[in-house]
């Protein structure tokens, strides 16, 4: 049995964001402090931070929000701002935002003057349980997601759940999908607690231990395999299909939240797990039912299967035209590196997407 540490290095739950941030910043002994927001986090989250009184000499930059802006132009804006304000290797960047912002800001900090410190203050559920933890940073480039990036841990990650109050339901559900995934791959009890959680009421105090458990699971898996040689692929459960759904949606100019794509992906990858690893059909059905009740009908049709398989074919992890999929032996137990023939994928897709 893998043991979980009591404390997770670098990731903390904050009950007072201003004093915790003050502590985290003073530990770095930074000569200059920069805050990075996007339009929405500046509007909704910045007012919860007493930047003017606590950090009167700091600098703030506001980027455009949205995944389409996780790009080189915005990265250049951050680098230019650093230049303009005289940032150096001993300066610090505080990223206040969702995964778009923590990925881009983390990358900007890692690359400026060969690397300055950065602290992540995630403001979406997805960033709290996933994007801001684990050290992956980067931007989209040439039409490809996360094409340019680097793995480096943030100096600190401060999770302050009151930021979630202003988050819309779709983004909330999107982050919740990554929590469901954490339960499915590594903790059946977390899965049970999550499916009992009332997403209409969104009681944040009940969510807090579930967020923390999800972070622990990510942390432990990343610690076993930081460079994604094997076990870290557990976190990709649902994602082989999800990336195909996201690529197709991008091509059709239809927005699909990442977590929704992951949730639909978990339905297909569970069905494959029944065939390949003997996951019980009852557990697979339960996953399908839970996903349907939160994320609705899967918005793809039988005539899109070929295109979706084409997208899966380009995945870096494949081998000899077989597609590499993380699967479940049972709820709470993952197995990585399952190579699947395309015709099996096609059969499962036809079954699930039949009219």
Q: In the bound complex, what is the minimum distance in angstroms from residue 302's beta carbon to ligand NAD?
A: 28
Stretch that binds ligand NAD, among 27-35, 120-128, 194-202, 343-351 (CB under 6 A): 120-128
Q: Applying CB under 6 A, which of residues 186, 213, 239, 258 lies at the interface with ligand NAD? A: 258
Q: Applying CB under 6 A, which of residues 146, 249, 280, 318 lies at the interface with ligand NAD? A: 146
Choose between 27 and 204: whose C-beta lies nearer to ligand NAD. Answer: 204
User: What is the rounded distance in angstroms from the CA atom of residue 247 to the CA atom of residue 249?
Assistant: 5
Return all residues near 39 (Cβ < 8 A) that are at least 6 apart. 62, 63, 64, 65
Establish if 101 lies at the interface with ligand NAD (CB under 6 A). Answer: yes
Q: Using CA of residue 324, residue 256, residue 62, residue 134, what is the dihedral sign?
A: negative
The DSSP element (H or E) to which 54 belongs, if any, is helix 51-54
Name the residue with the smallest CB distance to ligand NAD: 99
Q: How many residues bind ligand NAD (CB under 6 A)?
A: 31
Binding to ligand NAD, residues 49-68 (CB under 6 A): 65-67
Structure tokens at 84: 């303009």
Q: Applying CB under 6 A, which of residues 123, 153, 173, 326 lies at the interface with ligand NAD? A: 123
Stretch that binds ligand NAD, among 56-64, 121-129, 292-300, 345-353 (CB under 6 A): 121-129
User: What is the rounded distance in angstroms from the CA atom of residue 218 to the CA atom of residue 129?
Assistant: 8
In which region does residue 342 sit, left (phi positive, over 0), alpha (psi from -120 to 50) or beta (all else)? alpha
Establish if 124 lies at the interface with ligand NAD (CB under 6 A). Answer: yes
- Cα 81 to its chain centre, rounded Å, is 27
Q: Which of 111, 105, 90 is nearest to 25 (CA)?
A: 90
How many Cα neighbours within 13 Å face the side chain of 293? 12
User: What is the rounded distance in angstroms from the CA atom of residue 109 to the CA atom of residue 203?
Assistant: 35
Q: In the bound complex, what is the minimum distance in angstroms from residue 124's beta carbon to ligand NAD?
A: 3
Q: Which residues are near ligand NAD by CB under 6 A?
A: 38, 40-41, 44-45, 65-67, 70, 97-101, 103, 123-124, 126-127, 130-131, 134, 136, 145-146, 163, 166-167, 171, 174, 258
């Amino acid at each position: 049995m893998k043991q979980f540490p009591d404390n997770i290095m670098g990731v903390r739950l904050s009950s007072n964001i201003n004093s915790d941030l003050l502590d985290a910043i003073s530990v770095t002994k930074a000569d200059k402090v920069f805050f990075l927001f996007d339009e929405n986090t500046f509007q909704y989250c910045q007012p919860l931070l007493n930047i003017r009184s606590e950090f009167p000499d700091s600098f703030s930059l506001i980027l455009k929000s949205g995944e389409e802006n996780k790009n080189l132009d915005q990265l250049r804006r951050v680098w230019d701002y650093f230049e303009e304000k005289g940032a150096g290797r001993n300066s610090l960047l505080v990223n206040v935002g969702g995964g778009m912002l923590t990925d881009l800001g983390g990358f900007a900090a890692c690359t400026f003057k060969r690397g300055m410190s950065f602290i992540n203050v995630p403001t979406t559920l997805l960033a709290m349980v996933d994007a801001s933890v684990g050290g992956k940073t980067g931007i989209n480039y040439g039409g490809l997601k996360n094409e340019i990036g680097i793995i480096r841990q943030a100096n600190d990650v401060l999770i302050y759940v009151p930021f979630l109050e202003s988050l819309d339901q779709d983004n909330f559900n999107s982050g919740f999908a990554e929590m469901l995934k954490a339960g499915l791959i590594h903790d059946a009890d977390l899965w049970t607690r999550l499916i009992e959680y009332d997403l209409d009421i969104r009681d944040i105090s009940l969510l807090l231990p579930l967020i923390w458990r999800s972070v622990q699971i990510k942390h432990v898996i990343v610690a076993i395999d930081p460079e994604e040689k094997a076990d870290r692929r557990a976190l990709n459960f649902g994602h082989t299909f999800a990336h195909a759904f996201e690529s197709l949606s991008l091509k059709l100019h239809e927005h699909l939240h990442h977590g929704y794509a992951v949730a639909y992906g978990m339905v297909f990858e569970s069905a494959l797990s029944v065939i390949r690893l003997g996951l019980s059909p009852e557990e697979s059905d339960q996953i399908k039912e839970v996903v349907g009740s939160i994320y609705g009908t899967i918005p793809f049709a039988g005539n899109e299967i070929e295109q979706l398989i084409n997208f899966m074919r380009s995945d870096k992890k494949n081998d000899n035209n077989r597609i590499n999929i993380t699967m479940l032996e049972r709820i709470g137990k993952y197995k990585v590196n399952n190579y699947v023939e395309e015709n099996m994928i096609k059969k499962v897709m036809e079954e699930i997407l039949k009219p």
